[in-house]
């Protein structure tokens, strides 16, 4: 077997440990010396043996308590790590769903926002009468989406506009935009509620701050 070489620091550590062991050995008292010392001060040998057994028993009990403490500490650490891992998985899945539903909601909101430039562009391509009707719709889109939806449905019934497929297509998108937003907002709210319910569960509620997840979900406008 190849002889292991030690660094100066390791060698000093070995020497210190050897000195400590030697001092313990030199300071140790054997049973014969202990009995002789006890006899000199008038201690009954039976009492000495009883005392030795008691000290040995107490020493074993302390060692056993220490073992139990270390076992309990290990179990607690294992439970903590397990709870932390399980909380991370649960929160990660719930948060990912929230982010997905938020992105879908923002997507349909952006699609609705893109309708306004298209409506303004279309207003430049129709006659004055049609332009006035589309202007009313544009104002409603800015101020009252529900009224805009109703106006768009009415414009779809206007014979003067039914012949223009660009107008018909845009009106269809306007009437459907609020419904799509309502559906995606409902899905987002459901995902947010599930996340917040998960974040409140024990022991996830204790682990959540350590993992950096928020307690509640910020709602978009």
What's the pTM? Answer: 0.61
Q: How confident is the model over 97-123, as pLDDT tens digits?
A: 999 999 999 998 888 778 777 777 777
> Cα 96 to the chain's mean position, in Å?
10
pLDDT at site 175: 74
Other CB atoms within 10 A of residue 98 CB: 21
> Cα 160 to the chain's mean position, in Å?
57
Q: List all residues 6 or more positions away from 95 whose beta carbon is below 8 Å from its beta carbon.
A: 195, 213
Q: How confident is the model over 52-100, as pLDDT tens digits?
A: 778 788 888 988 999 999 999 899 999 999 999 999 999 999 999 999 9
The structural domains of the chain, with segments of one domain joined by +, span 96-200
- Which architecture does CATH list for 96-200? Up-down Bundle (1.20)
Q: How confident is the model over 29-59, as pLDDT tens digits?
A: 666 666 666 666 766 777 667 777 787 888 8
First to last CA, the chain: 74
């Amino acid at each position: 077997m190849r002889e292991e070489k030690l660094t100066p620091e390791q060698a000093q550590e070995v020497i210190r440990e050897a000195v400590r062991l030697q001092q313990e050995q030199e300071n140790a008292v054997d049973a014969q010396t202990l009995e002789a010392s006890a006899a000199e001060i008038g201690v009954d040998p039976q009492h000495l043996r009883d005392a030795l057994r008691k000290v040995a028993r107490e020493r074993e009990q302390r060692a056993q308590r220490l073992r139990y403490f270390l076992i309990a500490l290990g179990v607690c650490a294992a439970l903590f790590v397990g709870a932390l891992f399980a909380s991370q998985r649960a929160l990660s899945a719930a948060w990912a769903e929230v982010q997905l539903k938020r992105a879908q909601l923002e997507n349909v909101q952006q699609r609705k926002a893109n309708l306004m430039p298209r409506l303004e562009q279309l207003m430049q391509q129709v006659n004055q009468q049609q332009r006035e009707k589309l202007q009313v719709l544009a104002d409603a889109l800015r101020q009252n989406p529900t009224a805009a939806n109703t106006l768009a449905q009415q414009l779809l019934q206007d014979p003067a506009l039914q012949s223009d497929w660009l107008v018909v297509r845009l009106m269809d998108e306007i009437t459907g935009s609020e419904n799509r937003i309502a559906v995606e907002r409902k899905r987002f709210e459901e995902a947010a509620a599930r996340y917040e319910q998960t974040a409140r569960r024990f022991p996830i509620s204790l682990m959540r701050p350590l993992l950096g997840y928020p307690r509640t979900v910020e709602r978009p406008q």
